Structure formats: C-alpha cells, structure tokens
Amino acid sequence: MENLTALSYELRKDVINMIRSGKAGHIGGDMSVIDTLVTLYFKQMNIGPENMDDPDRDRFVMSKGHSVEALYAVLAEKGFFPIEEVIDTFSKFGSKFIGHPNNKLPGIEMNSGSLGHGLPVCVGMALAGKMNHQNYRVYTVMGDGELAEGSVWEGAMSAAHYKLDNLCAVVDRNRLQISGNTEDVMHHDDLHERFRSFGWHVIDVKNGNSIEELDAAFEEAKTVKGKPTVLIANTVKGCGSSVMENKASWHHHVPGDEEYEQIMKDLEERKEAALK
Amino acid sequence: MSKIANKQMICEVLMDAAKTDRDIVALCSDSRGSGSFTPFADTYPEQFVETGIAEQNLVSIAAGLAKCGKKAYAVSPACFLSTRSYEQAKVDVAYSNTNVKLIGISGGVSYGALGMSHHSAQDIAAMAAIPNMRVYIPSDHLQTRELVKALLKDEKPAYVRVGRNAVEPVYEEEHVPFEMDKATVVCEGTDIAIIACGEMVKPAKDAAELLNAQGISASVIDMYCVKPLDAEAVVKAAENAKAVLTVEEHAPYGGLGSMVSQIVGSRCPKKVVNLSLPDAPVITGTSKEVFDYYGLNAEGIAEKAAELVK
C-alpha cells in the first residue's frame, strides 16, 4: 500500500482482530505507537525478511514490549510471517506469538517486556556499529510511563557519553499509563529538558501519529552529529477510534462486540479519508 | 608455585585472545582496577567499554554488543552483578540468548569486612535459577585459564564467579585436568565424597590429606561447573562413598549443596551434609577469618567428614 497513513489504519484492524482472538493485548499503546512503527519499517529502516542476517541492517528494539501486537502487524506486513497465523494463535496455548517480543520469531532482535531495557541494549548495538565502522542505525521505542525506570537514564547517560549519533530513540508520549494520567502517576512534562541535559538532541513531534511528521523527524535525526537523538512523539493513546482514544481504561481492554463493530467502522472511515 | 588471582588470569586470557580477535569486548562499571582489567583497557581501548557505576547499563550494553557480533565480557563485583543487574542478566542475556559472559569479581565474602552489601553469597542460587544461564566457579588460576579459553569458544551466556585474592593453586602448571562442563576429580576415595567449588576446593583437598592421616579415604570433586552440574560425577562419587559432604562459599539455600542434594536424593540416596556460610550476614573479617570461623577450612571440613563416616 503506497499510502502509509491508510496502511497504518489497516494494520490497526489486524491488531484489533489479534486482541479479540487472543482475548488479551495492550490495545491503547498499540494504537498510539503503530504510526512510529510503520514509519520506521516502511520509510526509514533497511530491515526485511531478506536481510535479517546482514550485519549492516538497521537495528530495532521494541522497548515498550507490551505493544507487541502493533509490531506483529507491521512485521507481518513486511512479510516476516503470515498475519492470519498471528491472529489465529496470538496469546493462545503454545503459541509462538506471545504477549511480548521474542527473538525466536523472525524479525525480532531482542526479547523485551520488562521496561527500561531497550535503550541500554541499543547503546550496546550502536557502540558495536561505531567499533566496526558500520553505518547501520539503531532505533528503539519507549513508552512515556517507562521513563520512570532508572535504567532508561543510565542508557541515556552512556549514549551521550559515547556520542552515539547512530542511535535514535522514540518516546511514545501518549500521556496515559495503566493507573491513569502519566502526570499524576509520575510527572514527565519536562522530559525534553531532561534529555537535553543528558546531552541528547531532542525533537518534539507535534503529532506523533502523523507519518509525515515522524518521517521528517527521523530524517532530521540522521543529520545530527556527535549526539543521540530522541523523538518525543506526542501521540493519542487508542488512536483510530473515539471508542478508545485517550481512555486509560483501554490500556489493555479487549473490545466487546459493539465496541468492535464501531472501532472497525471508525478505522475504515479514517483509512478511506486518508486515501482521498 | 606462582600465585595470581583468578580475575587477573581472566584478563590475561582475554588479552591474549584479543590480539587476534577484534570482537572481544570487555566492559567494566568503574571496576577495571578491582577486576584487574586495567591492562586490557590500556592495551585495547577500542575494545573496552566503561559504563561508570551502572551495573544494569553494563549488562544491557553487553547484550546489545553481543547481539551485533561482539563477545562481551562484563566485569563487575559479583555482589552487584548478581543482584543489581539480575533482571538484565535474565532478560537481555539469558532470555535473549546473547553471547555475554558475566564475570563476577570479588565474589562470595572476598570483601570480608565491607559487610553484606558487598557479599555475593546468593549468586549461585540467583543465577542458576535463570533458564539458559550457566554458572561457573573456578577453583584456582590454572583452572580459570582453561575455563575462559573454553568460554571463548562458545556463544552462550554464562556467569563466572571469582574471588578477590590470589589463592593457593589446586593444580600444577604442568597438569591441569579440564574438560568443559565435567567436574574434575581432585582425588579419589572410598569413605566420603567431598564436593566443592571455587575457593573451597583447596581446603577440601587439604582436608582429604588430613583425613587420610586418620585412615579415612576421601574423594574430592571440583565442581567448578555448578550449572550445568555434572550429575554423573556426583552420582559416581556418591555411589563410591558412605556419605557426601558439599562445601561452598555461599548461603545454605540454593547453592551447590542444594543442587548436589537433589541429584543424590533422587538417583543414589545417601546422607548429604552441606557446609556453607550461614543464612545471615556473616561475621566481620578477612575471607580467611570468615572461613575459619564457619569451619570452611581444611580442619573444619575434615572434622565434619570424619563425623559423617564414624
């Protein structure tokens, strides 16, 4: 599909079907982060089933591993595995499609799920690239609630220390976490300043669900030398349908029949609008 | 007989290998001095990563490096490496199956007088409980040399614990029996089987001599490969003896004694007694003073062994 915004809405349907089938999943974060994943996998990174053994491939680590359903939908679209298999088996007994990324699956580099691991792991990946004089880039996506993990800041500190300009992190700033508003749970409104003070180049992506804006930000990141870049992607949790948008209770809610019908209708409408 | 610390031997083997292998990377968390890794950092700065005092970061970075083809050796005090970065060891190393060797230095009660925060008397239990994590505790610098050479040849995760100080060698320079993941039989005997690891192997060996003088025949097994435990060696030693005595620089739960007891209990039931540190903060003192106090020396081991075969 040429139109990536339309593709993003289409892939959201796969996510919804996955979650309905598996009766589980982190639906809100899937919907907020999927545009970042589509931009990375279809515009930015040189990753596909054909080159997963290429030492010069870009690297991606899904630090907010609970949004694995969105990653599955994107990887399936890239051809790593059939989407039907994911939807049929997700979260079911014996399935290889579990509720967090697992590197036994093609296309997934690192196991994640516990928060605060992706950025430090990516520091190692980016360091290896520098040591070997390779040109690949390293990407990770973190949740905003995840930023309360201390290990994130250990990673941030070392990424700047080692001047890892081949590393780009994204914060999926959807402002909600399982207990409610991020600012009530643990405030992060000064996170731009925090990253700057750690020596990072910070890009505020006003609409973090806009593939155009995300793509432009990733392009800017590539021009930054001597320091890592973080994109603060201001997203909408549950983005795609008013049924679930900006509702903390949809962190991991499984849509009922009526909700499902409405969400699928909304997604189709937004997809059609994007195609116009 | 030369005496150098096991940690220093690890550095020497890695430096030797790094001459021809640019993928060997050592990482320290402000621990290059205590880990005897300053020579590595000075000689191979391009293959050395300093993370500062940040053990979680140390292990995750090592995993990221390994995922991109590096052979990562993360060197940090065992007390921190086995607790502060436990989740990184579990998820980024063992679960993600990255070629990271976690080198826990100054293990056990090496930092004697510094207190429980600096002791790693829980590391066997913690690390062995993680699927896909191996646990090695070599007894002397010669065995350490062979172990690290073997580890360089594989691509799997491992945790290695070594002590802070140089210890009396168990083996001789000309004769270092070593087979990866097979326990080393230090001596054979028929009355009691003493199974030990790490710094406890030398006193166990000395205890066998004391026992011999009393007419008690003891075998001593150097179980440097705590996980995968060499179960066949345990069974063989137990079957040939009246009882089994395990000796370890570890808390009483979840260590070598627990693992040996499982094997003996299920495969060749015999009395097994575990000599270990207590389930409590240990008394203040040097390693030797601490070992002496808890009977983790040749005399203490011999006394317990003699009691068992009476």
Q: What is the pLDDT of residues A157-214, one digit of tens each?
A: 999 999 999 999 999 999 999 999 999 999 999 999 999 999 999 999 999 999 999 9
What ipTM did this prediction achieve? Answer: 0.97
Give A135 to chain B, closest Cα distance, Å. Answer: 13
Torsion B290-B295-B297-B299 (CA) sign? positive
What is the predicted pLDDT for the residue at A2? Answer: 74
Please list, in sequence order, all residues whose beta carbon lies within 8 angstroms of the beta carbon of residue B186, skipping any fewer than 6 positions away.
B170, B201, B204, B205, B208, B220, B221, B222
A127 contacts in chain B (CB < 8 Å): 49, 61, 64-65
Measure A195 CA to nearest chain B CA, in Å. Answer: 17
Q: Which residues pair with B172 in a beta bridge?
A: B175
Intervals of chain B under pLDDT 50 = none
* Nearest Cβ partner for B56 among A122, A124, A154: A154
Which residues, including other chains, have CB under 8 Å from residue B48's CB and lie 6 or more apart?
A: B25, B26, B27, B28, B32, B37, B40, B41
Task: Give the closest of B46, B51, B92 to A110, CB-based.
Answer: B92
What would the pLDDT profile of A77-126 be if each residue is shown by its tens digit? Answer: 999 999 999 999 999 999 999 999 999 999 999 999 999 999 999 999 99
List, in sequence order, every residue forming a beta bridge with B243; answer none if it has no partner. B192, B271
Long-range Cβ contact pairs of A185-189 (< 8 A, separation 24 or more): A185/A145, A185/A148, A186/A145, A186/A148, A188/A144, A188/A147, A188/A148
Which residue of A lies nearest to B96 if distances are taken between CA atoms? A111
Task: Give just the sign of the alpha carbon dihedral A83, A112, B25, A162.
Answer: positive
**Domain regions of chain A by residue span:** 4-275
- Model confidence pLDDT, tens digit, residues A232-255: 999 999 999 999 999 989 999 999
Domains of chain B: 6-161 (3.40.50.970), 184-309 (3.40.50.920)
* Contact state of B61 with A120 under an 8 Å Cβ cutoff: yes
CB contact under 8 A, A154 and B69: no
- Is the pTM higher than 0.90? The answer reads yes
CATH of domain A4-275: 3.40.50.970
- Single-letter amino acid code for the residue at B304: K
Restricting to B residues 53-112, those with a Cβ less than 8 Å away from any Cβ of A are 54, 56-57, 60-70, 72, 87-88, 91-92, 95-97
pLDDT in tens, A42-55: 999 999 999 999 99
Looking at the complex, does the CB of residue A158 fall below 8 Å from at least one CB of chain B?
yes
Q: Which residues of B touch A111 (CB under 8 A)?
A: 91-92, 95-96
**Chain A residues whose beta carbon lies within 8 Å of the beta carbon of residue B95:** 111
Residue B310, pLDDT score: 86
Asked if A168 and A219 count as a contact pair (C-beta separation under 8 A), the reply is no
Quick check: B64 and A127 CB within 8 A?
yes
> What is the per-residue pLDDT for B158?
98
